[in-house]
Amino acid sequence: MPRKTKCFLLAIVCVLLVASCDSKAVYDVYKSVPNAWHKDSITSFNFKAPDTIKNYNLYVNLRNNNEYKFSNLFLIVELNYPNGKAVKDTLEYKMAAPNGELLGTGFSDVKENKLWFRGYKKPFKFNEEGEYKVSIQHAMRNNGEVRGVENLEGITDVGFRVEQAQK
């Protein structure tokens, strides 16, 4: 193997190792979307509150590919607290630049997006001990149509991430 190729491969491995060392993550799980994301399909994540003292940032993580044909994404995200309280939001995220290029990180046609859910405007604390549940569903529609997009193509994985906020 030529020396340049070896150096390049070593650099890639180092970048991957540094990127995988993520001490802020408390919970970070992805679930695959088979073929297309059906409008009635809800992806859920269950996790225990890390503590009730520190501040946290909560994110919806998505992986999408070039089959995603929209410039934005509407999601319905519900956060269920251990003692029965539930908070439901309809959120919009920008997914493409004005020229149509998909946003997110990644070297291939698969892009990874880390989308804010809680903690960006004001600190988020888990004020109840116990198990929380987050449910995520897409709410996409074509322009001028009342009915939602039945099968949303281009989303390959849906994830949820909790990380300790920076001080």
Paired with 77 in beta bridges are: 89, 136
Residue 33 has pLDDT above 70, yes or no: yes
Q: Specify the pLDDT at position 5.
A: 56
For residues 20-47, give the mean pLDDT: 89
pLDDT grade for 163, boundaries at 50, 70 and 90: very high
Please tell me the least confidently modeled range out of 11-15, 36-40, 42-46: 11-15
Report the chain's mean pLDDT, rounded to a whole number.
Answer: 88
Q: Report pLDDT digits (tens) over 74-110.
A: 999 999 999 999 999 999 999 999 998 889 998 888 9
Predicted local distance difference test score (pLDDT) of residue 58: 97
Residue 123: count of CB within 10 angstroms of its CB: 12
Cβ–Cβ < 8 Å for 137, 126: no
Strand order in the sheet with 131-138: 43-48, 131-138, 72-80, 86-94
Whether 44 shows a pLDDT value over 80: the answer reads yes
**Tokens of residue 103, six digits:** 């946003």
CB atoms within 10 A of CB 127: 10
140 with 72: CB under 8 angstroms?
A: no
Domains and CATH numbers, the chain: 24-164 (2.60.120)
